[in-house]
Amino acid sequence: MSLNEYKVGILSGAVGTEREGQIAMQQSFGRVTDEIARSFSKCYLSLPIGPDDGTKEYVLQSGNIALIPQPYYKNTFQGVKYALNIIKAGKKLLDSSDVLFVRGTMPYLPFIYLYGNYKGKPIVQWMSADLLTML
């Protein structure tokens, strides 16, 4: 089976917005999302959907992306109160896809990893950070 016959799930805590029926997000992760989606038959994307504050400059271009929205939260601390909703989104992604791509860290990821292991689904973890800020 070639890669473009598989379905991918993408899980992120990066906030996106819906604009005129399209998904808009921060440009660098939006471009990565589009490139991943183009390589698979279907892409299920789950991220918090917030208000359109004008900072989400990139509108996703791939026509094979289905949104599984998470509740809006600005940071990991706020996201803790939505942990169950986000775990359910991760479960839905794993049930719908053949592989899961996770951007960043979240305090509830161990539950998603356990379920992915139980389902026999590979999970790719992408750690991204501003290294200067971390120092």
Number of domains in the chain: 1
Q: Quick one: pLDDT at residue 133?
A: 56
pLDDT at 6 over 90: yes
Structural contact between residues 26 and 55, judged by C-beta atoms closer than 8 angstroms: yes
Chain mean position to CA 53 = 20
18: CATH: 3.40.50
Q: How many CA atoms does the CB half-sphere of 42 hold within 13 Å?
A: 10
pLDDT at 60 over 50: yes
pLDDT at 67 over 70: yes
131: how many CB neighbours lie within 10 A of its CB? Answer: 7
- Cα–Cα dist 101/89, whole Å: 13
The model carries a pTM of 0.89
Q: Quick one: pLDDT at residue 79?
A: 84
Q: Which domain holds residue 43?
A: 3-134
